[in-house]
Amino acid sequence: MYQAIIGRVLWHLHASWGSSFVLDEILAIAYLVGVVMSVYYIKSYMRLWSVPGMIAVSLLASCGEGDGEVDDSLPSCEEDTRDDEFVVGIEKTGEAGFTLAILDSLPAPPAKGDNQWSVELRDASGTLMPGYALEVAPFMPDHGHGTGVTAIVTDDGDGAYTINPVNFFMPGYWETTITVVDEGPTDSEDDDIDIDSMVFKFCVEG
Ligand SMILES: [Cu+2]
């Protein structure tokens, strides 16, 4: 894209140099300025709508309101009825019948900041299922944002996986969607298949 733009600018400049009309040169310079300005505008627009940008914008819009005041528009964790109470072995079953159990959480219960989860994956018949990829996506539905910290998943064999970190960077109600993915025979994402997904719901204290 940049080569094409630069090529067109050079062509215009060449055309203007080749003639004796001052007007051509003025047009070429105006064109160059226009291209630079529009590229800069598009880049800044894209930066605004990138994931960190969206998080920053939604944080400014929703999480930053009421500086120094107690925000009582949202329930505290004690009042929140949407969350799961954490117990060792808490499990969720997806629509395809796969079950994911959290066998250990550091810390327990899950808290603000980075959490490490040891989980176990079984299929609908209860068989332990190693060899899948898990995609972990914490999300705050009240604020409409996720986290910028990517969870790294390790396949420990025999259906056991370690997820670290599950990042809850602010207090409140978080829904963590874990998607079970069959990555297929190649490294390419083209042959990835989503097998099942489950949602864990935890409210973390400030
Ligand atoms: Cu938030």
59 lies in some domain: no
- Gap from CA of 77 to ligand 1 centroid (Å): 14
41 lies in some domain: yes
What lies within 8 Å, CB to CB, of 132 at 6+ separation is 121, 155, 180, 181, 182, 183, 195
Confidence of residue 57 (pLDDT cuts 50, 70, 90): very low
- Gap from CA of 110 to ligand 1 centroid (Å): 16
Q: What's 120's domain CATH number? A: 2.60.40.10
- Gap from CA of 140 to ligand 1 centroid (Å): 6
Q: What is the pLDDT of residue 115?
A: 98
60 lies in some domain: no
How is residue 147 written in tokens? 């986290």
Q: What is the pLDDT of residue 63?
A: 55
Predicted model pTM: 0.67
- Gap from CA of 195 to ligand 1 centroid (Å): 29
Please say if the pLDDT value at position 190 is more than 70: yes
Confidence of residue 38 (pLDDT cuts 50, 70, 90): low
- Gap from CA of 156 to ligand 1 centroid (Å): 32
Structural domain including 130 reads 90-204
Q: What is the pLDDT of residue 62?
A: 54
The structural domain count of the chain equals: 2
Q: What is the pLDDT of residue 23?
A: 45
- Gap from CA of 187 to ligand 1 centroid (Å): 34
165 lies in some domain: yes
- Gap from CA of 148 to ligand 1 centroid (Å): 12
Residues 36 and 120 in one domain: no
Residues 195 and 128 in one domain: yes
Residues 179 and 119 in one domain: yes
- Gap from CA of 13 to ligand 1 centroid (Å): 51
**What is the CA angle 65-70-72, rounded to 5?**
90
Range scoring the smallest mean pLDDT among 20-34, 96-110, 126-140, 146-160 = 20-34
Please say if the pLDDT value at position 6 is more than 50: no
- What's the rounded Cα separation, in Å, for the pair 203 and 189? 33
- Gap from CA of 8 to ligand 1 centroid (Å): 46
- Gap from CA of 171 to ligand 1 centroid (Å): 7
Confidence of residue 15 (pLDDT cuts 50, 70, 90): very low
Residues 23 and 96 in one domain: no
pLDDT digits (tens, 9 = 90+) for 154-164: 999 999 999 99
- Gap from CA of 144 to ligand 1 centroid (Å): 7
32 lies in some domain: yes
